[in-house]
Structure 1
Amino acid sequence: MAQDANAPTGTGPGAPLPAPGEGQSRRTVLVAIGALLLGLLLAALDQTIVSTALPTIVSDLGGLNHISWVVTAYLLASTAGTPLWGKLGDQYGRKRLYQGAIVIFLVGSALCGLAQSMAELIAFRALQGLGGGGLIVLSMAIVGDIVPPRERGRYQGLFGTVFGTSSVLGPLLGGLFTQHLSWRWVFYINVPIGIVALLVIASVLHIPVRRTRHTIDYAGTFLVASAATCLVLMASLGGSTWAWGSWQIIGLGALGVVLIAALVAVERRAVEPVLPLGLFRIRTFTLCAVISFVIGFAMFGALTYLPTFLQVVRGVSPTLSGIHMLPLVAGLLVASTGSGQLVSRTGRWKIFPVVGTAVTTVGLLLLHQLDMSSSTALTSLYFAVFGFGLGLVMQVLILAAQNSVRYEDLGVATAGATFFRSIGAAFGVAIFGTIFTGRLGEKLTSGLAGRPLPSGLSLHDLETDARTLLRLPAALRADALAAYASAITDVFLYAAPVVAVAFVLACFFKEDRLRGSVTSPEASETLASNPVERSSRDEVCRALSALGSREGRREVYVRIGRRAGCEELTPAASWLMLRIRRDGSADPALLADRTTVPFDVISAAARQIEERGLAVRDGLPLVLTDDGRGVAGRLAQAREDSLAELLGDWWGPDRPRDLIDLVHELNAELCGSDEERPHEPDPRRRSGPYRPDHY
């Protein structure tokens, strides 16, 4: 089997591929994870960092009527490229593809910083988005190549933290760079950070090429991207650049319909369709797709135009506009994290999309009430309500989509939920832009009609360049700013009925019981604007390893001991037997030094299994007797059966081989884990890491 050029020695052609992390020091893995996090940070930041810089960019390059395309171009390119990055990485090696994605992203970033016109910036943003999509999907996939299943939950949590942090820092950093350096540094800052990530990846990331043959749906990917682009162009150019009845707009609409029809025909025959049509026969998935589209529509449309309202109408600096956006992001993060956790604990999920779409609708109506005189406290409150509504919906839609499909479709369903949000985001930004441009022209015309403008200044200038407002006399400037405020807030009024439709649709959800393995996804899946493509096996591995870590407490060993018919064994004794079974022997003194379990707890466990004839001393280490091997085998089987139960109907008679292998692999990793701390609560220890409430 072909190997990565930098694969560790000893894995030549024909040799078995090493397990994730095997043969690599912990330091090497941590450095590689750090570089992956840097790459992910760049891609995640560029989804939001531009928002607070947009008013200044437009002032410098002009083209206020095309402001939405600075965001839309990135979203479309990153979304369309994601399935290709994921599957090409499976076939040709993720390291090379990841390095290629960094290079594309950095070239796009540098060109964005050098752009001299709005058209150039939009084109370079598309190139940047193509690389950004690769950074997100491949960084998540590479974790599975270098980290054992037992530890993936911890590292995936770091990736979620990066996404959450970037959503907060993006608008703030965009404002800081714009105000104190130049808007061009919003893009230039990517270059040195990306070069560091590229060099570290080249030197420390050693992964074999795990070839997984795919029939890549190039035609489907092209048709999805083309149809979306046609419809987004029609939505953004209709009524502004061209009249709705013009041949250009009608032609774009007709071409979009033809491309959608071709997409349906191609996907019906595709071996591995990028968008399996069978999923749309599942009511829950279809509702999730439509509501995800609407949420993306509202979220990114608002994130694009709220900074314009703050900077142009309210007159705040780019930095302060980023700070003003924090209540929105905070509301989104709190609601998203909280709803996901509540669903995982209670198994009830329908209430969240229903309430979330209702609160989002209310939030949009509140944003419509903003004007030039709105106080900062009121503005922050309205932002927080809007963000909170979005957060209640986003996490739960992924959970519901995962829960509604067969195991074979789990990966594509997970990606599909965020895919439709990405497409919705592109449409939302474009349509918001069209509404804003049209309303601004009407408001300026009615507000300044018949009033003389300064020499050399026209209404068209005021519509396309906000800097020209400074050339107006005070009386005219106030009316022009009121026109800007009304045009922006009218956008939210028009969006409210769309989200209200999503509220009605959410009421039609059927609340199916959640499988135990459907757990709250990381924030990366919630906040990412483009889908993270993972296989069904990867997705189940994430969920079960997270559950295994979360349940790795004293109660787990009580449960598996009871299931194995070994109720007389203490949890610590069960843990010790599984350690001996896994490693062949165990020295209690060395275990106490190398794990978090106290020596007296390990000694008591060792005495119990020796007294019961389950283990004997071979010098200092303990080894299992024949009876002990039988008991340890039953304990391991009980743990495996517990994992299988979490899969629900996926663990049926016709379960796929890779799912069986995954359960065996996770069972081997989770049984005997050092980090599960199964020891008995010691009444003498009421503080520190071994308090009884840890169990």
Structure 2
Amino acid sequence: MTNAASATAEPGQMTHREIMEALTGLLLAMFVAMLSSTVVSNALPAIVTDLHGSQTGYTWVVVATLLTMTATTPIWGKLADLFSKKLLVQVALVIFSAGSVVAAVAPSMGVLIGARAIQGLGVGGLTALVQVVIASMVSPRERGRYSGYIGAVFATATVSGPLLGGLIVDSPMGWRGCFIVGIPIAAIAFVVLQKTLHLPTIKRDVKIDYLGATLIMAGISLILVWVSLAGTNFDWISGTSAALVAGSLALIGGALWVEAKVASEPVIPLRLFRDRTTALATAASVMIGVAMFGATVYLSQYFQLARGMSPTEAGLMSVCMVGGLLVSSIVSGRVITRTGLWKRWLVGGMLFVIAGVALLGTIDVHTPLVVVGSYMALVGIGLGATMQNLVLSVQNNVAVEDLGAASSVVAMFRSIGGSAGVAALGAVLAHQVTGGVKDGIAALVRAGKISQEQLVAMQHSTGDIPKLADLPAPIRSLYEASFGDAVGHLFLVAVPFAIVAFLCILFIKEVPLRTTNGPAPTAPAAESGEEPELEAAR
């Protein structure tokens, strides 16, 4: 019997067939989680225009999901150590579906942002729990093979999401259909998991750190509100800014105190950071979140608002990035399973990410699309070799009882980086576009190409996202140029974060992957470079 068939983290054994059957439901759940963001990406310009939103609203439709996902991921991970993992995945699917229904009928930006926050609760559960369940079924050495399947599903959702979203937006259903499409898949995943996933449940007293989780969420929320609104709603240096920053630091400080001194089962066990691999992988995850989410989420705006593409055409452009991600995630997963060595893939992957992000920083409204696509492919290749394998390196280094907490901590901090990146870079984008449009309009007025009366008739704020087809040709060209230049600048801002992630990965010490789900390797075994023979967990 193969390792995949025999290894399990809990009493009882699952055959390879049983693992694959259960994996089907898990991958469907993961597909739903990934699809929730990718299917909406190309619909966002149409959504914000239809609901009369602004660039800040565009940002918070994304940030709301990331924020609640970030805050609840460690709670889901802790619950996975206490309750039935299958039940928790199913609950997450139900919460996600409820949020999707509300989003589909949202009458305003405020309701939509709230619905996206509900979706984020479910996505946080799915993101954390799928990794935890797979980790409990197979050993770290064999997990590389299954990580390849996760990478393939991630790639499929990322490819099909923008394409599907673009087609839906251009269809009679409109953008509201983008929130409905995931519900049937969630229902199928629910049924498949009910029939195929059978894991023993370890019963013990429940001690959930709600206070710590609330403080963490509140602290992160305040800093993101400050980053996204400062410079437009109030000055960067002002009483409001000072209050938001001070409040955020106080809340985060309180959260650290609760986690260290009060909570008996903290949502973020600070002792995990005594391990160098966990600490460095977490730091790298934050930086990758900034570079990946913070920059790539605005590519849809670039293609639609700077290059005049339809949502469907913008979706087709995403194939460039996801094609690279698909190939590298599958290849790296299989090779890591065969060799047990993973660090070279993380190092090489981050070099590709740095190169791709830096090159994307050179794009503007005139850059040939073939060139833009090739730069996106480089980023995809790097992310495919990095994201899943970074989680794998941590899972390989912690005790079985900490798998849920450690996996969710890495995912949580990647989401924190993503939330901060989307909010900060969204603020940069809004500032640059607004400034560029104001300066450009003033120049057009001086040149006599547009009159003050026409500007008043438009009744348009330069901070809004307009429907370009309704604008006069000179102003439409102005918006396209402003968005093209601003999005390129965002990638340049993201480059230092990718470099810091690379440096963190360089200092991670490679420990060959275990072939069992037993205890983490001891320090002497890890330093010898030999794979320890460990007793399987009972």
Are 2:457 and 1:464 aligned? no
Shift of 1:425: 0.7
AA matched with 1:73:
A
Are 2:216 and 2:252, in contact at CA under 8 Å, matched by a contact in 1? yes
Aligned mates of 2:502, 2:421 — CA distance in 1: 17
Equivalent runs, 1:285-434 vs 2, <5 Å: 285-339=278-332, 352-402=345-395, 409=402, 411-434=404-427
> Larger relative CO (CA 8 A, sep 6+): 1 or 2?
2
2:252 to 240, 254, 260: 260
Uncovered stretches (5+) of structure 2, i.e. residues with no partner: 1-9, 527-532
Uncovered stretches (5+) of structure 1, i.e. residues with no partner: 1-16, 519-539, 545-643, 653-658, 666-695
Question: Partner of 1:431: helix, strand, or coil?
Answer: helix
1:49 matched residue in structure 2: 39
Deviations 1:524-571 (A, max 9, x none): xxxxxxxxxxxxxxxx53xx8xxxxxxxxxxxxxxxxxxxxxxxxxxx
2:229 to 222, 237, 245: 237
TM-score (norm 1): 0.66
1:220 matched residue in structure 2: 212
Aligned mates of 2:11, 2:503 — CA distance in 1: 51
Instruction: State percent identity of aligned pairs.
Output: 39
Deviations 1:652-695 (A, max 9, x none): 9xxxxxx98735x6xxxxxxxxxxxxxxxxxxxxxxxxxxxxxx
Aligned mates of 2:24, 2:340 — CA distance in 1: 34
Are 2:148 and 1:274 aligned? no
Are 2:324 and 2:384, in contact at CA under 8 Å, matched by a contact in 1? yes
1:170 to 145, 153, 161: 161
Deviations 1:167-220 (A, max 9, x none): 222222221211223111111112333334445556776766542445322222
Aligned mates of 2:410, 2:141 — CA distance in 1: 26
AA matched with 2:423:
A
AA matched with 1:266:
V
2:536 matched residue in structure 1: 662
AA matched with 1:192:
P
Shift of 1:307: 0.8
Distance verdict in 2 for CA 1:358–1:149, change over 3 Å:
closer
Shift of 1:139: 4.6
Shift of 1:462: 4.2
AA matched with 1:461:
S
1:590 matched residue in structure 2: none
Are 1:357 and 1:390, in contact at CA under 8 Å, matched by a contact in 2? yes
Bigger radius of gyration: 1
2:484 matched residue in structure 1: 485
Aligned mates of 2:264, 2:415 — CA distance in 1: 24
Distance verdict in 2 for CA 1:164–1:488, change over 3 Å:
closer
2:94 to 86, 90, 103: 103
Bigger shift: residues 318-327 or 368-377: 368-377
Are 1:90 and 1:213, in contact at CA under 8 Å, matched by a contact in 2? no
Deviations 1:606-647 (A, max 9, x none): xxxxxxxxxxxxxxxxxxxxxxxxxxxxxxxxxxxxxx9x95
Aligned mates of 1:155, 1:492 — CA distance in 2: 32
Question: Partner of 2:359: helix, strand, or coil?
Answer: helix
RMSD across aligned C-alpha pairs, in angstroms? 3.6
Distance verdict in 2 for CA 1:648–1:433, change over 3 Å:
same
Question: Partner of 2:216: helix, strand, or coil?
Answer: helix
Question: Partner of 2:175: helix, strand, or coil?
Answer: coil
Are 2:70 and 2:413, in contact at CA under 8 Å, matched by a contact in 1? no
Are 2:148 and 2:331, in contact at CA under 8 Å, matched by a contact in 1? no
Deviations 1:332-379 (A, max 9, x none): 333344455556666665555555444433322321222222222111
Shift of 1:148: 12
Shift of 1:321: 0.9
TM-score (norm 2): 0.83
Deviations 1:220-274 (A, max 9, x none): 2222222221222221111122221233322121111111211221121233322
